[in-house]
Structures are given as structure tokens and as C-alpha cells.
Structure 1
Amino acid sequence: MRFLFTSLITLLGGTVAIAHNEVPDSIAARELDEIVVQAPRVIRKADMDVFYPSQTAVEYSKNGMQMLRNLMIPTLNVDDFSGTVKSSGQSVQLRINGRVATTEQVQSLLPETIKRVEWIDNPGLRYNGANAVVNFIVTNPDAGGAFMLSGDQALNCAWAPWYASLKFNDGKSQWGLSMNYKLTNKIGCTREYYETFIYPDGQSLTRKETPVGGYMDENRGNFQLDYSYINPDTTVVWVALSGFKQWAIASLFDGVMSLNNGFSDIRLRDYKGVKGFTPSFSAYLEQHFSHNQVIAVDFNASLYNGRTLHDYTEKVKDSGGDITNVSTSIRDCNQAYGIEANYIKKWSG
């Protein structure tokens, strides 16, 4: 019942937001069944559109992703279920107070802490070739804390994304711990194909693979410890230590391949998998100065240690004799460091 009520409110909010686009830079309100849904206030700038969330948009949002969806930004498609944000079919870069952020970090935002949302559909050089950018300008509560837990467990298979976040606030500072886990275990998956090879002498060979079984795995998760000091439009400091773990991201295809040249049917098995762990450290500093000047510094360091597996076998179906047996295991260990600094100057003209 709560889901139906939330969906109804979202639908009503979308109706009013469409009407609002016809008269920009204004606040539109309509009374529907004793509920007043108010569109966000929008300020049009030369390089972006700035959306100020309305009170109703905050009330009917549980996290930052829902808030973004309720803003009803034109051409922006927000999918809470898959955690994707796209515009005109292309991915959108997400940022929080200027730094690049993940969808999980946006989901952990409390709607009441979002001061405004900047929509940039024609990004400049600072955004590294992004198609479009959504920048959340947020504040830290003066005191207290917050706990968030969300999950979607499938009833007919082992599939579920889970997310938890814990935050403590003190003045303009915030300490946070977040974790998420994606379960995809032995989900049924098959493949089939039909192909014909023609030799220079005119002869041909047709191969057809018929699926017998198969599955997909995608068990992964990560944690993050972070600290932030936020004084919007003045100073932003953000430091985080995180780890990303891949238990098993794999696929298995099992099938029977038949040939038209009279050769016996072939039983084939194709397995591919990746597993590993990546700890990383990130830091971001943004300082505003007089005369519309900004310096932003972003630092990232990570270490990956993992393994890639691939097993491919072909056997004669009747006798079980091996035709092809290829097994590879590649260990990968690498480090990455990066620092980016931007000086930004805005002219009022």
C-alpha cells in the first residue's frame, strides 16, 4: 500500500513538473485531493540549470536518488532499481559538492541535506568528457546522525542488492560508514548460436550449439569509511578509505555442438570468471576565494590484486574423448595513482 501511495505521489509530481517547464524560473503549485505538490524552483544560468528542491520533493524522497527523480529534470532518466542515471540514452556523471561520486554514495544522501542540484547538460573540460553532469550541493547537519538500510531480495532466485549507511555529525563535520553487497548466485543463463564456414574450395561446414545448462555469478561488495567537512560555497574537504571485493563474477555455458559433416556431436563447456580485492584511498579539496575563483584538487590511489580464470573444453559426446582442453589462470596485481587540480574563474558577464 505504501508503494502504491508513493507511486501515486511521484506521478502527480511529474504532472506538475511538466506544467512548470512551460513557465521557467517560477514556482508552480496545484492542489490535488488535499495534497499540494510543488515543483522545484529553477534558476537558468549560462552553464547550468540550478534546481532548488521543494518541500514536497523532500518529503516524498527517502534518499538522494529518489530526490533526483522527483525533481523531474527534462531528458533525465533515473532508475532506482538498477541504480542508473541517463540522459538521452547516455550515462550521466554524478558529483557531490564537486567531487565524482557513485550511485551508492548518492543513495546515502539525506534529502533534507540537499541544498540544490546543478544540472549541466553541456559540460566543459573540467568534467573529463562527460555527456552530462548532476552535481549535488549538500550540507552536513549540525548534530546527530543517520542510519539507512535498503535491499531488494528476489523471491525466486538468489539475486539481491543490499546497502547500509551510518553517519555521525558534529558541526560542519561528518563521519560515515557505508557498505553494499550485490548477490547474484547461480542465476540460470544459456546461449545458442548457428554459424556456417565456407572454405576456398567451395565446401561448407555448419555448426549449431544447443544449450544444455549454464549460470551467471556476480557476488561483489564494498565498504567505505569517510570524513567530510562541508561549508557550501566556501570549503569542502572529503577523505575516504574504501575496499571493493569481487567474490565471483563468472559465467558458465554448457551445450552440445552438432556439425553437418557427419562428425559426432560435441559436448562443450565454457567458463569465465574474475575475482579480486581493491583497496583505495581518495581525498578531495575545494576552496572558494573572492572574485568567483575556485581551486579544486582531487587525489586517488588504489591497489588491485585479483585473478582471471578461463576454462574451455570440447569432448566427443558419445566416447567422452577430449578434443580441446584449454585452462588459463592469470594473476593481476597493479597500482594506480592520480591527482587532478583545477583552477576555476567565473566572470559575471
Structure 2
Amino acid sequence: MYLKCFFYIVFVFCSFCFKLYAQNNVVGCVNNVEKKGVPYVTVRLLYTDSILVKGTVTDSLGTFSLSNVQAGHYLLSFSSIGYKGKFYPIVMENKSLNLSPITLETDNIQLDGVTVTGSSFIRKKDYVLIIPDKQQVKHASNGYDVLYNLMIPGLTVDKRKGTVTAFAGEVTLYIDGEKATNRDVQNLRPQDIKDVEYYDVPSGKYANDIAAINYITKKYKLGGYVSVNGKQMIGYLSGDYNFSSKLVHNNTSYMLSGGYSNRKYKNNIEEEQETFYLPGGTVCRDTKLEGSRYRNDQQYALLKVNNRTDKRLLSGEMSFVRDYTPENENHTSLDYHAERVRSERWQKQENLQPSVTLHANFNLPKKQLLEFSLGGMYSDNKYQRSYWENADKSFTSVREDMYTFSFSGNYVIPFKQNNSLNIYALHHHEVTSSLYSGDYDSWQHLWYGESLLFTTYQHRINPKISLIVRPGVSLLNYRLHEHDLQQFASLRFNTMFRYQINQANQLVSYVNIGNTAPDIEYLNNVDQTIDFLQIQRGNPNIGNTKIYNGGVVFNSQYKKLNVQLNSDYMLFTDNVFFH
């Protein structure tokens, strides 16, 4: 059993100041006629002659706060696209003021044909609809840039890495309701983005995600485009060049894209001290990396076909990826305290990966949804490694063929009050054949399959409190050639409780039970030399690693001061992966 426990407090200070006098705040909540919070409402504090004092916007639950308001008579102005504006008079004394809920009535305006001069946030029943403005689209080159320019509260967009994260973890990205890859978002033209849907508390088909972004693209009946973009870094060689083309005819679209990227650098300098506790005694070694060379090239090509109607979406995708590393070498000085030697490590690696994916999405009556995905992939992997210490040499060569198949289905049943029930099933299957030569000659064949079944129920108790419960089961089977079949049944369980205390404070608690299975890197019967003190040895009888995790997170913001308190506990059994 391997135990891991974390408890940490993170303080992020931008700049702050302390005031010695009492602070009188105006705190309130804006609801619609259904008594649900309306987010991103513009709130302005005005003098009675309509001169602006200060302003703010409501958070995702409709709450707002105005700080340091002096005594006097004021007007509060509330405005949001899709709602009728409202003025509310207040009298401020020398104490904070907690307002009764403010109700905004729906304004049934049509947005089609309206010129939007600023990005608009419109709260729908279960998501936030965001309309990018012209400047946000103009100063963007792909889907990540548009998302970054929108500055959605609570989201962090890393344009360089191509990641989007929310408070609780990574955000899943979709394009027109279909799950998107990093390349899909990078090749998405800003001028083709009509709206962006942000599911901060996901429900329905997105209930299995921590948070979700869905890009809604403009629909064309006939036409197409060709787009080219590139990026080259100066200092060390690193470039990324892509092209994409799209042709639309009625309900069918054809998209062809491809790209090339490369990285090349040399002469990294590193130092490391190691201590090895061996049966014959203790060995100390000081390692100094005196020089290195690295070069990597990647190419990809993708063809995607979509056919969409109001009732269903059918899509197919074929892709080919080549990842080639012809140079990866280190020149090192090793000091064993009694002897100094020189060592060299050289690696060469190549991966060819064709794949096919099919997806179907059916809109059923009563807003129910049925989804299926089917995918297959083949990987041709080649790996060579040489290691020298003075005149001693080690050599390993691996040729690996991997066949992967996966199938998933998702059935969504929506209920009232934005509650939903999801039934999700997945089967993943791999067959791997690896031929080792060099220091050790061996043939390894691994058969692996895992089936998962989840039921996710999301219940929104009120605008501030939501609960997600996700029980499930994992059935895992694998067998290494000439060894017995290993079978495991494991409970999967996830639950999350969210409480939005007010605009600036949030409390989240969670409990997770899961498992993870080894792959052929661990599950084998081969010895591979790392150096002449270390050998990586596989284990054909590795068990099923189980993971137990629970924690509480409190997030608070006061002006420019952000405070996060996080208590997290993790327990691993039969652990071979985590350190």
C-alpha cells in the first residue's frame, strides 16, 4: 500500500491595501421571473441626478457586491441583453445594506440582424451564451485566441499549450456539440465562430465534464475556404505550420487539414546527485550533463466529413500522424567519488499512427439525447537506445505494433430545474506486440480490455448549491503471453458538492474512487538497462491500482487579493504508477 497525503495553502498576492475605516457594502442578487439568478448583469450605482459612482457585474449565480459606499441616497441601475432594464432606489446609512432579490423581466428581442458592439453574456437555463464582438474576433487567429479574448470569469486559457482550465480542473471543448481535439480548435477560424456556450455547471450531455465550452459555428449552404498559419520561435529552433480547407454543400461539410512542427536544441547543462542503496553497500554518484542534442519532427494529415440535420449528426474522421525523433543524445560526466567516468546516451524513436473515428448524435423527443462513438487506431512504434560508460556499452531495440479499438455510448435524460441523468458505457481494447533485441531478446504480447459503466445524476438544489453523484463500475481483463488471465472488478464513484457562498467565495468538496491499469511498459517480462547501476524490469503479475481521493477547496477573492485553501487526501493501493 502506498499512501500519499497533501495539505497545502496557496496565497496569490497581486497587490492590496488595508483601510482603517469601516467598509459599507451593498450586497444583492438579481433573479429572473422564475427566481433563478441572472449572471453577468451590469450593475451601476448612480447619484439621484444619474451621475455614475461605480459599477460591477453579477457573478454566475446572479449575486453582486459594491464596496465602500458612503452614506446617502442612490439609484441602482440593472441592465442585461434579453432583459428589461430596471432602476432601484436605495438609502445608504453608516452600515452595510443587504437588498432583497431584484427581479428582471424578460425582454423578447430578436438578436438576428443586430450589430453587437461589445461581447454579450446571456444566461440561458443551463449555460451562459457569449457573443464575441468584432474586436475579439479580429485580434484572434484560432479558437483558443477567441476564448482568451472573451475573458470569461473563472476560466484560464493557455494559448501556447492549447489548454483551458476552470477552478475544478480541465475544461472539455466542443465544436457544434461534437468533442474537439487540440488540432480542431487550433484550426477553427475566428470568423466562423458565431457564439460560445459556457457550461459552468454542466448538465445533460455535458454532465460528465468538469466544465464545457461549445463553439457554435456559422452555417453555410455552399462555399469553402483555404487557411494557412505558421509560427516560428527565435532562440532555439521551434516551429509550427498548419493549413486547413473546408468545403460545404447543403448539410454536408468536408474538411482537410495538415501540419508540420519541429523542435531542435542542443547544449543543455544539468547537474544531479544520486545515492544508490545496494546489497553490497551504498554508492554515491554525481552526474553532470555537459552537452546534449535533440531534434523532433511531427507531421499530421486529417480528413473529416460531417452531415448534420436538426435531428442528428453523423461524422467520420481519418487521420495520420508521424512523430520522429532522429536525435536525442546526452554527454555526461559521472563522478562515483572513487572514480570519474564519461558516459553517453543516444536514443532514436519513430511513431506512425493512422486512425479512424465515427460519431453519431441523435436528438430524441423530450430533449433526450443519444450518442455513439466508434474508433480504431494502429501504432507502429520503433525505439532504439544505446548507453556507454567508458568502454562498456548497452543497446536496446524495440519494434512495437499496437492495435486499439474503443466504443462508447451516452444516453441523456433531462429533468426540470436543470437536473439530468446520464447513462454512459465505454469499452476500450488493446492488443500490443513488442519485439525486443539487443541486451535482452524477447517477444511480448499483451491483450487488454476494460469496460466501464457510469450513471451520472446532477441535482441543482438552488441557484447556489449543486450536487453531482456518479456511481460506476470497471471490469478489467488483461493477459500477457504465457501467463494467466488477470481479471478485476472495481467500484468507480465520483461526487462533488458546490456551494457558491457569494460573489467572491466558493466552497467545493469532492470524493473520488477509481482505478488504473498498467500497460505494456510495466506489464512485461523484460529487463532493460538504464545504466550500469539501474535496470527497468517489468512485472507480468501487476495488480489493479486503486485510487481513493477526497478533499475540500475554498476560494476567496477580495479586490486584488486571491486566497485559495485546499485540503486533499489520496490513498493508493497496489501502486506502481504514482510517486
TM-score under structure 2 normalisation?
Answer: 0.49
Partner in structure 1 of residue 301 of structure 2: 223
Listed as ranges, the matches of 1:4-15 within 5 Å are none
Distance 1:258 1:209 in 2: 7
What is the CA deviation profile of residues 245-293 of structure 1, one whole-angstrom value per residue up to 9, with x for unaligned ones?
11217632211111222x2x11111234431101011111112122111
Q: Which amino acid aligns with 1:330?
A: V
What is the CA deviation profile of residues 222-267 of structure 1, one whole-angstrom value per residue up to 9, with x for unaligned ones?
1101111234x63322211110111217632211111222x2x111
Out of 286, 307, 310, the position equivalent to 2:382 is 307
Out of 118, 123, 128, the position equivalent to 1:43 is 123
Out of 93, 104, 117, the position equivalent to 2:172 is 93
Report SS of the residue matched to 1:291: helix
Contact 2:267 2:290 in 1 (8 A): no
Report SS of the residue matched to 2:304: strand
Partner in structure 1 of residue 324 of structure 2: 247
Contact 1:93 1:130 in 2 (8 A): yes
Contact 2:268 2:290 in 1 (8 A): no
Aligned positions, number = 314
Change over 3 Å in CA distance of 1:150–1:335 after alignment to 2 = same
Distance 1:91 1:250 in 2: 33
Change over 3 Å in CA distance of 1:191–1:58 after alignment to 2 = same
Change over 3 Å in CA distance of 1:276–1:200 after alignment to 2 = closer
Partner in structure 2 of residue 166 of structure 1: 245
Partner in structure 1 of residue 291 of structure 2: 213
Partner in structure 2 of residue 290 of structure 1: 365
Given the alignment of the two structures, is residue 278 of structure 1 paired with residue 353 of structure 2, yes or no?
yes
Contact 1:205 1:259 in 2 (8 A): yes
| Cα RMSD after superposing both structures | 3.1
Report SS of the residue matched to 1:152: strand
Contact 1:63 1:110 in 2 (8 A): yes
Partner in structure 1 of residue 224 of structure 2: 145
Computing the radius of gyration over CA atoms, which structure comes out larger, 1 or 2? 2
Partner in structure 2 of residue 76 of structure 1: 155
Partner in structure 1 of residue 396 of structure 2: 328
Contact 2:351 2:381 in 1 (8 A): yes
Distance 2:348 2:208 in 1: 31
Contact 2:359 2:372 in 1 (8 A): yes
Out of 333, 336, 349, the position equivalent to 1:256 is 333
Contact 1:191 1:253 in 2 (8 A): no
Given the alignment of the two structures, is residue 342 of structure 1 paired with residue 428 of structure 2, yes or no?
no
Q: Which amino acid aligns with 1:227?
A: V
Task: Give the drift of 1:164.
Answer: 1.0
Listed as ranges, the matches of 1:101-250 within 5 Å are 101-123=180-202, 130-197=209-276, 205-231=283-309, 234-248=311-325
Q: Which moved more, 1:114-123 or 1:153-162?
A: 114-123
What is the CA deviation profile of residues 67-96 of structure 1, one whole-angstrom value per residue up to 9, with x for unaligned ones?
211221222222223322223484332222
Partner in structure 1 of residue 92 of structure 2: none
Contact 2:298 2:323 in 1 (8 A): yes
Q: Which amino acid aligns with 2:304?
A: D
Change over 3 Å in CA distance of 1:22–1:306 after alignment to 2 = closer
Partner in structure 2 of residue 318 of structure 1: none
Task: Give the drift of 1:165.
Answer: 0.6
Contact 1:41 1:54 in 2 (8 A): no
Out of 76, 80, 91, the position equivalent to 1:26 is 80
Contact 1:97 1:236 in 2 (8 A): no
Partner in structure 1 of residue 528 of structure 2: none
Q: Which has the higher helix share?
A: 1
Change over 3 Å in CA distance of 1:283–1:58 after alignment to 2 = same
Out of 140, 163, 182, the position equivalent to 1:61 is 140
Report SS of the residue matched to 2:146: helix
Change over 3 Å in CA distance of 1:199–1:107 after alignment to 2 = closer
